[in-house]
Amino acid sequence: MRMSSWARAGLLAAAITAIPAAALAVDTPEEQAQRQALNGEQAKFAAQQIADYEARKQAIADEQAAQEAAYQDALAARDAQIAATDKAHAEAQARWEAAVAACNAGDRSQCAQPAQP
């Protein structure tokens, strides 16, 4: 048999009124003080956890920033090395082209020397 929502509400109201008054009593001042002390301890603990977490977050961010800076420095050094190598290659290429042009123009001192067996 199904019970209507009004009947259920009536049963619930009867159950609530049947709860002993002691269960609905207000805490004693000692219990309130103890609860407040425990809440204070928990709040301090939570604040310390948050501070520790924020400190770890900052340490990680600092480490990541240092790693990124080191990476950028390494990239800059690599780019400088590539530029120096490219410059040296261009200079060597220009010297070789000048020597070939001089050799073709008749300056045999600029010609490549034959390999010695």
Confidence category of residue 117, pLDDT binned at 50, 70, 90: confident
Host domain of residue 41: 30-107
Whether 102 is in a domain gets the answer: yes
pLDDT (0 to 100) of residue 9: 73
Whether 22 is in a domain gets the answer: no
pLDDT (0 to 100) of residue 3: 66
- Residue 103's contacts (CB-CB under 8 Å, 6 or more residues apart) are 110, 111, 112
Listed residue (113, 87, 112, 77) closest to 97, CA to CA = 112
pLDDT tens for each residue of 20-62 = 665 666 889 899 999 999 999 999 999 999 999 999 999 999 9
Confidence category of residue 2, pLDDT binned at 50, 70, 90: low
Residue with tokens 């301890």: 41
Whether 9 is in a domain gets the answer: no
Q: Is the pTM of this model over 0.75?
A: no
User: Using only C-alpha atoms, what is the Rg of the chain?
Assistant: 44
Split into its structural domains, the chain has a count of 1
